[in-house]
Each structure stands twice: as C-alpha cells, then as structure tokens.
Chain A
C-alpha cells in the first residue's frame, strides 16, 4: 500500500534511478521538473489524507509544514535549474555526463531530505542527513575547479565531524531511553520517546543535547561552526546554493527542534532554549558584520543565510507560542526569499561571467527583470516592510522585547547591521553605471517572481488556515 508518506520517498528515488539511465540532458532536465512537481503534489496531499505513522515513518503537524516547504522549493528550483544547467552546458563549464550525474544527485538529495523529515527513528534520521550531506558534497565539487574542490573538501570534513557528533548525541539519547523503554528499536522511535521523555535520565539527556546541538548545529550553519557554508554556497552550482540555503539548513534545524521538544518534556533536564538563544545571537551578529567585506555575490548571500538561521534558532530558543510562530514564519519566508535571490544571482553570474561584485553594476538598466528581481529579493531579505520577512522579524523582536529587552536590542542591532551591509552592496550591483558584459539573459523568471510574490502576499495578508496551522505547530514546539 503506497500512501503519501511513501510517495515523497519513492518518486525521487525512482526518478534518480531513471536519470542515471537516460543520456539526454534536456529530457532529464524536464523529467526532473516533473518528478519534483509530483513529489510536491504528493506532499500537499498529506494535508488532505493523513497516512498512518509506523515505526519508521511518521507524519504530524510539525513535519508536514517542513515537507511541503521542502518539496515546493525543490520543485521551483528544478525549474530554475533546467535553464541554468542548459546555459552551463553552452558555456562548457559542465559536460553532459556531469549533468546526468547532477540530475540523479538532485533527486537523491530530495529523497534524503524527505526521509530525514518523515523518519520516525532517530537513527534513520541521522542516516538520511548523512546521505543529504554526501550528495551535496558531490554537487558542490561538480565544477572540478581548485575552489570547488577545496569547498567540497572543507564541507566534507566539517560536515562529517558534525554528523559524527550528532551520532554520539543520538547514541546518548538511546542510552537515556533504554532503561525506561527497554532494549531494541522502540527506544529510538520518536513517538515512543516523546511519550516516555519525562522519565529519562536528565543528566544523560543534557550531555546528549550538547552533542546534538554542536552536530546538527554545524549543518544549520551556526557560528562558530559555519566555516563550510560560504565556500559551499559560492563554489557549487547556483541551484544547489538555493537548495542548501532554502532547504538543507531547515532539515538540520528540524532535527534540532525534534530533540529540543524531547528535552522540553523532561522537567529535570536543562532548558535547551538558552543554549540556542546564545548560538543564534552569535551567528546573527557575526554574519551581519561579515556581510560588509564580501566581494563575491554568492558568498555574501551565504553569510546572509547564516544571519537568518541565527535569527530562526534564536526565535525557537526563546520558545513560547508567539516566538515559535515567528520562528516558523521566518524560516518559511527565508527559504522562499533566499532561493529567489539565488535564482536571480545564478542568472546574473551567468550574464556577467563572474561572481565578483566589483565586476557587476547597473543591472536594473541592462537586465531590468533580473536587476529588479534582485532588488526586490534583497529588500525582502533585509526585512523591509511590507514584505513577509519584515512581519516575521518584527514578531521575533517584539515577542522578545516583552520578555528579555536586552536580547531584543542585540538582535535588532544584528538585523540593522545586516541591512546596511546588504544595501551597500546592492547599490553597486543594481544601480549606477553598467559594468561587465550586458548580454540578455535567457532566464526563467517564473520561479523567482513566484517566490517573491508569495513573500509579498504573506507580508500583507496571511490566510486564516495557514495562521491556524502555524499556531498548532508553534504550540506543539512548546
């Protein structure tokens, strides 16, 4: 019996197998879109028919939000990727053979992320995140240049250390659960763990959470464990930068949130909130200041991702329904906006033939659609009203201000510093005298403007069912 839950896993894996067999890249690029779209439709069906959770797979309000977001951005990115990859082949930066590999890996990545989200088993979730890491390592290194290989190597080593620490944390959680639940597979199943969490040994849980925070935190890109993130974003193909920023960071965050829920259920364990608040604040501030010295456009937006992940982790660390709601909203808005920005940046880099900010200029004159798309995206990501990120940032800051005014001031400082940094660079990229080649771009504008439209609408009007759904999840997170 195949239900929606199995669907989001089977479609990508079948597609990946198919893509390794098909030689023609144009056809695979189209099929990639079809597969991603089917996965998205299947994921959306989870809202209508909720399949039963088993010992390995699970569906609840929390992961439904993540799955739908992941498959949606996965779908729009596949549309962008088709036109991007076509251009890369014309450039000669990629060969048809490596594109074949790229498409298969794209679907394996979607599979791994979906598996991590629906896994009902902490071991299975860990394996899925490891697979996702490996596939992205391979894709980051796909250009085979000095920089790409170095980025892939760095990502690989740091990512491996991260997942190794996360595994140690996972083992400790099992150790904590074993005396209560008993030996065997049950002591690794989320739904069972959550039921008995209050009886676990708190000291063991505390140590476990520290390891999990460091381990999965590396994958979220929290400072000071973020070193892999800018390189991986800058040197890989741009669709992968979009997926990394928009989705993979969220998946690691999801794992962290699950464990946070577990700890929150045990009254004797440390509160996981303050640790997350501290790491979130450090990431936000650090990345905001780092934005000022960036010369590479993709690297700049990678630092912006660190800043936003910092804000999101901060919001979830503060906890409470309002802050959780704000965190969820911010995560969704950031995924949509950041991937839209990377869609624009990918085409811009192709037109200009470089990623150096100094060699770009006057984009709004030479390539109006791309230029204004980027301007809109940056305005959104910087958190200006009336766009969606303004809403969520406002919620994070205001809900914090009511409880811990000092923390809110520090956070607001980080956001403002980042705003300054982004606009400084945006000014030279989008306006002023045109610099560099000014060829017309054969771009697919639909995904970018679709994302931006969604972010714009969310800033003005949020449909009631969506608010209600987010509220449910926020309450679940405690």
Chain B
C-alpha cells in the first residue's frame, strides 16, 4: 500500500509541475525565457509519462516519453532558439492582455478544469481523475497562451504546451491504445509548424512574425 501511495504521489507531483510550468509560461516576457520554460515543460512531461509507463507496466509508453524528451525538450527548443536569433526577434513579447489579468484568467481556468473533471469522473480511479484534471488545466492554459500572445513563435509554444496536456491525458487514461501513434502524429504536426515558420520565412514575407501585422493582409481590407 505504501508503494501505491508513493507512486500516486509522484505521478501527482509530476502532473502538478506541468500545470505550474504552464503558469510560468504565461508571464515570460522574453522569447528566450519562454523557450527555456517550454523545454522544462516537455522535460516534466517526459518524466511524467515515463513514470506512468513504469507504474502501469506499459512499456510502449516509454517510446512516448523518449519522444517527449528528445524531440520536444531538446530538438524543438533548440531549433526555435536558432530561428528567433536568425529572425532577430529574441527581445520582447507583446501581450494583448497584461500579465496580471492573464494570471487571474489562468487561475480561473485551472479552477474550472478541477471543478469540471473532478465532478464528472467521480467513479474513475483517483490517479486517472487527477491526471485528467491536470491535463485539462494544461490544455486550457495552452489555449489561453495562444489567445493572449501575438507573436507567431509564442503561439506555437502555446500550442505545444497544449499538446503536452493532451499527451498527459492520453497516458493517464490507463491502457489507451494508439498513444504512441498519436504522439508521433503530433510531433509531425509540430515539426510542420516549426518548418513552416522557417521555410515560409514569415519574417521575409510579412516583415515581422507579429500576427497583428498579418491581419493587414486580410482579403477584405485592400
């Protein structure tokens, strides 16, 4: 029983740290710092998935953990670092909403996900319940990040942390098939986005990666 409690506590800790790191992303002004926090986020995900693989005795989840570690925590942040240096936008992030309101909104979203998920999953086993609640919180915080930021790179970071929440949910759902396939599919998606930023040379085309500048090109306003 002791071991059961311990494994629960560690899983809880790791999933909780994901939510905390999602919060930390919300108030990062600088793109560099944001990318570093994201790398930590992916690291926490890798640890969490690895721990789930261990306690569920599901070896295929280790693949997902390794993907999270290598691809999301190392390759993608490094690539994005390079891109923002190349584009010369490593200074500041503009936020649409200030940090204070964003944090308050974030807290509201976390509370919402706790209320919703804990209430509806009363019958499920406690670990899956808490994981799901945390995962929803991470997903909603990722969405919040995507709406409050204007910069294309930070929107992508928001999307990636949202996706980390989904992987957390998928691994928390015990015995769910296709988790590995889905995490691979998502990695492909993210790789596309990052390549998209770079290859399409959004900066060259639009002179900025500020999404607001893109609005100028809306077909109706010519």
Residues of chain A touching chain B, judged by Cβ–Cβ distance below 8 Å, are: 121, 123-124, 126-127, 130, 134, 141, 144, 146-147, 149-150, 153-154, 156-157, 160-161, 164-165, 167-168, 171-172, 174-175, 178-179, 183-185, 187-188, 201, 203-204, 206-207, 230-231, 234-235, 293-296, 299
CB distance from A171 to the nearest CB of B (A): 5
Query: Is B82 in contact with chain A by the CB < 8 A criterion?
Result: no
CB distance from B212 to the nearest CB of A (A): 12
Residues of chain B touching chain A, judged by Cβ–Cβ distance below 8 Å, are: 116-117, 119-124, 128, 132, 135-136, 139, 143, 146, 152, 155, 159, 162-163, 166, 169-170, 173-178, 181-182, 185, 189, 192-193, 196, 200, 202, 205-206, 214, 217-220
A161 with B146, Cβ < 8 A, contacts A146-B206, A171-B173, A174-B173 known: yes
19 contacts between A and B (CB under 8 A): A127-B182, A130-B185, A134-B192, A141-B200, A149-B206, A150-B206, A153-B152, A157-B146, A160-B159, A161-B146, A164-B166, A174-B176, A183-B175, A185-B177, A187-B176, A203-B121, A231-B219, A295-B219, A299-B220
**Nearest 8 pairs of A and B residues by beta carbon:** A183-B175, A203-B120, A123-B178, A185-B177, A146-B217, A150-B214, A150-B217, A171-B169
Which one of A153, A178, A185 lies within 8 Å of B174 (CB-CB)?
A: A178
Q: Are A161 and B206 in contact (CB under 8 A)?
A: no
Among A134, A164, A183, the one with the most B-chain Cβ atoms within 10 Å of its Cβ is: A164
Q: Which residues of A have CB within 8 Å of B116? A: 207
Which one of B132, B181, B189, B217 lies within 8 Å of A175 (CB-CB)?
A: B132
A175 with B166, Cβ < 8 A, contacts A123-B181, A134-B192 known: no
Which one of B132, B196, B205 lies within 8 Å of A156 (CB-CB)?
A: B196
- Bound CA–CA A168/B173 (angstroms): 11
- Bound CA–CA A179/B125 (angstroms): 10
A130 with B121, Cβ < 8 A, contacts A156-B196, A168-B136, A168-B166 known: no
Apart from A185-B177, A296-B220, what 16 extra A-B contacts exist at CB < 8 Å?
Answer: A123-B178, A146-B206, A149-B202, A154-B214, A160-B189, A168-B139, A168-B169, A175-B124, A175-B132, A178-B175, A178-B176, A179-B124, A184-B175, A201-B120, A293-B220, A294-B220
Question: What is the predominant secondary structure among interface residues of chain A facing chain B?
Answer: helix
Chain A residue, CB-CB nearest to B170: A171
Q: Are B181 and A157 in contact (CB under 8 A)?
A: no
Q: Which residues of A have CB within 8 Å of B193? A: 156, 160
CB distance from B87 to the nearest CB of A (A): 15
Q: Are A153 and B170 in contact (CB under 8 A)?
A: no
CB distance from B158 to the nearest CB of A (A): 9
Q: Which residues of B have CB within 8 Å of A172? A: 132
Chain B residue, CB-CB nearest to A294: B220
Q: Are A164 and B163 in contact (CB under 8 A)?
A: yes
Q: Are B185 and A147 in contact (CB under 8 A)?
A: no
